Structure 1
């Protein structure tokens, strides 16, 4: 590739349906300079709002990501408390004796936990995976439940429609596109299971390029990039459950690194709930009661 831009990463992809067709994508490693040159000077006032923009109590990661940190005192930020009573309306379960997600025994323990959980709760459950491979592997071992699986049971819209038609007996297995942008309020969804902390894939070309840039500046790619990305996405996934003030439900996060790693407390404190149950034994029916 001639005349490559040094501040871009180039990705060459082959079409999975047509091997003769390829796509070349150029992505800026840092969009801050572009935003400061072409966007911010042309707009007098801008408002960024979302329930998941902050990480670890401030907006610094988001601001650095889009170049707002270069505007200094022109940028004002505000974190508004949630109107939801998470302590009363939700419980977060973390099985601390689960194998490390990188352990070969993790998938077996996950399958056993889901078998126990779904035997108690039946339906109204969303399970969020971080990979299709693990989703397919676990789905194949739990055929005795009525599971709608992404990539197997139709499009996202079809899965959501079928789930809404009969939520009491159905469970959704989803990956990336189910972590955000879906709304299942009230009794449609009363259980959310997050399989792993959603860290970005370190071999992703853009993540690699951003990590190299952080290292060159003397930073730590894990704490300055991977951890904030995971924390924000974890909060997005968490937000699938409580959609209205009257919603209630159980969240289970099956990644023991929330307890075994120093950064686990940072991730937990970034979630809106403060009602945690750390279990060491097999799942019990009382564990799933608020």
Structure 2
């Protein structure tokens, strides 16, 4: 998935530089990983990019339902700026990515309310209920449900792929990339100026109680990455044991800097 996704975004970037706008689709891919990585490729080239993705199997119940029909189906967007950081979003149309439920299950933790229902349609905070036939809920109720369905259409049907709930669905992702030059409708300098004005307006506005500062989309991830580079990446014991077990089976040794048990 990552190989095909990187290649497809490379094609989209090249075409957008030539014509101002490009659209590239892929289907029948394996797991593409972090969707933001692809739109970030475009921002590093000074371009705006949007990515629509479907797949990963039916994990989400549509609004008002209790049966898995939709994938967690993320959307990502990245916009370049003149101050060194791109404006970046990458989130599932579901109330949670499935991977976060797996981490909570591995740690023996509960999840917050409003994320999932059990196999009977009852609200639950136990991640084990998802793996016992439950469903993730869409983000923002009917709005997330509609967004997730559109990801099925744009990432799946439009590209020639399949939807997660179809009987002939093959495990994997479908992606649709849009890449645009910021100077299509105005001078690039004016675009950059207004992006900076928006950034200043948001981050300089009054904070609500309990918040130390206001961040623009993508900034929390930048801060988290910096912390991880300094302190390492925390993995739960079950995930680490799984990775180590795969390494042992291939005669590859892994060593953790520190593990809190």
Q: TM-score range by the shorter chain?
A: under 0.3
Higher relative contact order (CA 8 A, sep 6+): 1
